[in-house]
């Protein structure tokens, strides 16, 4: 209490800072949407839904089943094939690049399997999900996309993902 009496300017500054932080947090928690994937467009026979207005992910629903050959045919350079022991449900996984950006492609049996098994791991990789102390995410991936049965981790931004999705979906 003595500190509060001798340092009123410090207390006032601290209280103003706390009030401002509270206002910022409250405004960040607000939402003008319903919390569902409402922004839907069409790309060919697929539908695109930005994941809850996120700027780090996009989900493109498709019944098509892609393979790494579909990506290499449009310019993806596959460099390293991964072991699947840390990717439950995955059937194949590759690291490579497209348009001078790093990509990791994780293939699943179906779109639903990609959603069920791949999205949570992708969110951990881009830093959105809970990360165990021994499983730190790679820092080079800042966004991810789900295209049919493929979960792709993309370098730098969602635009990297969108450019790959646009080319593969044609």
Asked whether residue 16 falls in the same domain as residue 77, the answer is no
Question: Domains in the chain: how many in total?
Answer: 2
CA 56 to chain centre: 4
At residue 128, the pLDDT reads: 64
Q: Are 25 and 44 members of one domain?
A: no
Residue 10 is assigned to a structural domain of this protein: yes
Q: What is the DSSP secondary structure assignment for residue 77, as one 8-state letter?
A: E
Same structural domain, 54 and 85? yes
Classify residue 131: in a domain, yes or no. yes
pLDDT at residue number 51: 43
pLDDT at 157 over 80: yes
Task: State whether 8 and 63 are in the same domain.
Answer: no
How many Å apart are CA 105 and CA 8, to the nearest integer?
A: 57
User: What percentage of the chain has pLDDT greater than the value 70?
Assistant: 61
Q: Are 144 and 162 in contact (CB under 8 A)?
A: no
Q: Give the least confident one: 6-10, 38-42, 153-157.
A: 38-42
40-44, 86-90, 115-119, 133-137: which range is least confident on average?
40-44
- Alpha carbon 64 to its chain centroid, in Å, reads 21
The answer to whether residues 10 and 48 belong to one domain is: no
- Across the chain, what does the average pLDDT equal? 73
- Phi and psi at residue 155, to the nearest 5°: -75, 140
Can you give the residue range of the structural domain that contains 4?
A: 1-30
DSSP 92-140: EEEEEEETTEEEEEEEESSHHHIIIIIHHHHHHHTT-S---TT-PPPTT
Residue 150 lies in a domain: yes
């Amino acid at each position: 209490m003595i500190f509060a009496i001798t340092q009123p300017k410090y207390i006032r500054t601290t209280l103003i800072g706390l009030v401002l932080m509270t206002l910022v947090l409250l405004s960040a928690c607000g939402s003008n949407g319903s919390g569902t994937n409402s922004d839907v467009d069409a790309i060919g026979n697929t539908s695109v839904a930005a994941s809850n207005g996120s700027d780090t992910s996009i989900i493109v629903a498709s019944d098509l089943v892609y393979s790494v050959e579909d990506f290499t045919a449009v310019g993806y350079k596959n460099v390293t094939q991964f072991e699947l022991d840390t990717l439950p449900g995955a059937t194949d996984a590759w690291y490579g690049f497209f348009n001078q950006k790093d990509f990791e492609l994780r293939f699943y049996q179906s779109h639903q399997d990609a959603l069920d098994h791949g999205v949570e791991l992708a969110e951990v990789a881009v830093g959105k999900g809970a990360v165990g102390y021994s499983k730190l995410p790679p820092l080079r991936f800042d966004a991810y996309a789900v295209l049919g049965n493929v979960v792709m981790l993309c370098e730098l931004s969602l635009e990297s993902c969108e450019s790959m999705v646009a080319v593969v979906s044609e």
